Structure 1
Amino acid sequence: MSLPLLPDRDCGGCVECCRYIPLDLPELAKPTGQLCHYCVDGSGCAVHAIRPQTCRVWFCLWRAVELSEDWRPDHSGVIIRPDGVERGEITLYVVRPSEFLASEDFFVTVAQWIAEGIQIALSVPGPEGFYPVRSIITDWLRPAIEEGDMADFVERLLAALDKLHEGPFQPDGVTARYAVA
């Protein structure tokens, strides 16, 4: 699914999707958690003009939804995955813990999404070459949100992240292949 992007918002030096999103295409395959061979860390795609169609149309929701600069994945440690939006779900793929998870901006935004009836999923990466694990946590977060208790929200969020880090992680079976020409 490709969403309309916000004008004047680009990835900049963020390459988190180039690292954490698995690809298994005829011309490009990379295991989960491995930086794409064509990606220059902190800069972007070295084959941008001829990159595969999948790379041309996949963007995190930070590029499509009015969110602060703090939400940019390389700043927040959170990739907001677009898959599931059409079903009323948002997946917060926490690729690394950061102070942002305990920020008022994060709390207020997630609370607003839940109030709008959006299901919130949390996801964490596994070891390189393994798919991430994911779980819907809306009902787990709801009591803290309804009470407006940010400390309880953060405690619940961190507990959910700890549980997810236990796995089980499934191998992605992807062998790196780079043939973009």
Structure 2
Amino acid sequence: MQSRQRGAARRDVDCFSKLGIVRSNTAKNNKNKKKKKMDQAMSNVARAVESGATTIRGIVDATGLSRLKVERALHALEKQKLLLRDSRGFTAPGMLATPQVRQCGSCSRCCTLLEVTEVGKSVNEWCKHCDVDKGCTIYDDRPQMCRSFNCAWLQGHLADEWFPERARMVVHFSQDAVNVQVDPGYPDRWRQEPYFSKLCEWSLNGIRMNGNRSYATLIVSGPDKFLLLGRTIVPEPTLFGTAFLPVAAETFRYWKARSPEHLHRLYGRITEIQRIQQEFGYCAIPDDDDPYPPYRPALLRLSNHPHAESDAESA
């Protein structure tokens, strides 16, 4: 009798133990799902704010999220200092609050240059719902992407010469970039003044930002893509990143990475170049784009520093 009771008790313990494991795994899965949903909500809210939505109601309209989800996402973003709140509403760090309200007027450049997947519109083609004389023919039922989009000129960040219909390009912000979509009929418009100097200024600000997120300045002109590093133009930047080193106030040397590991090595050599510059006041910048450690001996020899050989041997 006692043996059967002990066996039953053991089975009960095993059963409860397995049940506890199942519950634990279920709880972890639910927690992961909630985190993914929260991350997605935060991403949508951040994009809405950077596109010009500054109030909770505006963010709700732009994202389609419930007010409760928007408020939770805003709280999390503020806590991480990814959004700022003031008397005028919400803004992204490094971006000015909208100083004035503008209207699209006769401009429908975004309906031409930008992609809108919800209506099957590709980049650099007229939207089938855009009437040149009347504007959007489905305005009341336009996709969420169109509802939430506001170009930088419309937000008031740019002077009148940046009016997209006049400038022949659309500037808009994302979480980590200033994006410039250029009319393929005017492929070099962004290289002209006063546009180029302003883009260079943005680029330098994005590189030098302290205390906030840095951002890139990207230009898309027809099939061509460019990254701006001050006044240095990087054609066809890679997805893995571009390592760069300042050589003057507004110009840079750069190397395009072919993998994350390659980018790490490029920046490792840049760090050593800067260290040698501090020690000797000068370091030659190599032309090759595939360095391997140790970087110091080759850099010292290339720079022809006095006692470079002895320094290299001890490095």
Q: Scaled by the length of structure 2, what TM-score is found?
A: 0.38
Is the 2:101–2:154 Cα contact (8 Å) retained in structure 1? no
Determine the structure 2 residue equivalent to 1:162: none
How many angstroms does 1:39 deviate by?
0.7
Kept in 2: contact 1:114–1:120 (CA 8 A):
yes
Residues of 1 paired with 2:249 and 2:200: CA distance?
A: 6
Percent identity among equivalent residues? 20
Residue of structure 1 in register with 2:129 after alignment: 38
| Cα gap change, 1:100 to 1:138, in 2 (>3 Å) | closer
- Match of 1:74, SS state, is helix
Q: Quick one: distance in 2 between partners of 1:51 and 1:114?
A: 33
Deviation at 1:81, TM superposition (A): 2.8
Choose 1 or 2 for highest CA Rg. Answer: 2
- Deviation >4 Å, runs of 4+: 98-101, 141-145
Q: Which one has more relative contact order, counting CA pairs under 8 Å at least 6 apart? A: 1
Aligned to 1:160: none
Q: Give the match for residue 24 of structure 1.
A: 117
Matching of residue 70 in structure 1 with residue 161 in structure 2: yes
Alpha-carbon displacement from aligned partner over 1:61-104 (angstroms, at most 9, x marks no partner): 22224211110111001111323xx22x212222142767422x
Cα shift readout 1:28-73 (whole Å, capped 9, x = no counterpart): 2123222111111254212212212111011222222421111011
**What is the distance in 2 between the residues matched to 1:136 and 1:100?**
12
Q: Which residue of 1 aligns with 2:105?
A: 12
- Number of residue pairs the alignment of both structures matches: 135
Q: How does 1:6-155 map to 2 (within 5 A)?
A: 6=98, 7-25=100-118, 28-41=119-132, 43-83=134-174, 86-87=175-176, 89-95=177-183, 96-97=185-186, 101-103=191-193, 105-117=194-206, 118-126=215-223, 133-138=224-229, 140-141=232-233, 146=250
1:126-175: CA deviations, max 9, x gaps? 4xxxxxx423121525879738xxxxxxxxxxxxxxxxxxxxxxxxxxxx
More helix per residue: 2
* TM-score normalised by the chain length of structure 1: 0.62
State how far apart, in whole Å, the 2-side matches of 1:74 and 1:145 are: 33
- CA contact 1:122–1:136 (8 Å) conserved in 2: yes
Partner Cα distance (2:130, 2:116) in 1 = 13
* Contact 2:190–2:196 under 8 Å retained in 1: no
For structure 1, list consecutive stretches of 5 or more residues without a partner in the other structure.
127-132, 148-181
Matching residue of 1:167: none
Q: CA RMSD in A?
A: 2.8
Change (3 A) 1:74 1:143: farther
The Cα of 1:111 is off from its aligned counterpart by 3.3
Q: Structure 2: where are the runs of 5+ without partners?
A: 1-46, 54-97, 207-214, 234-245, 252-315
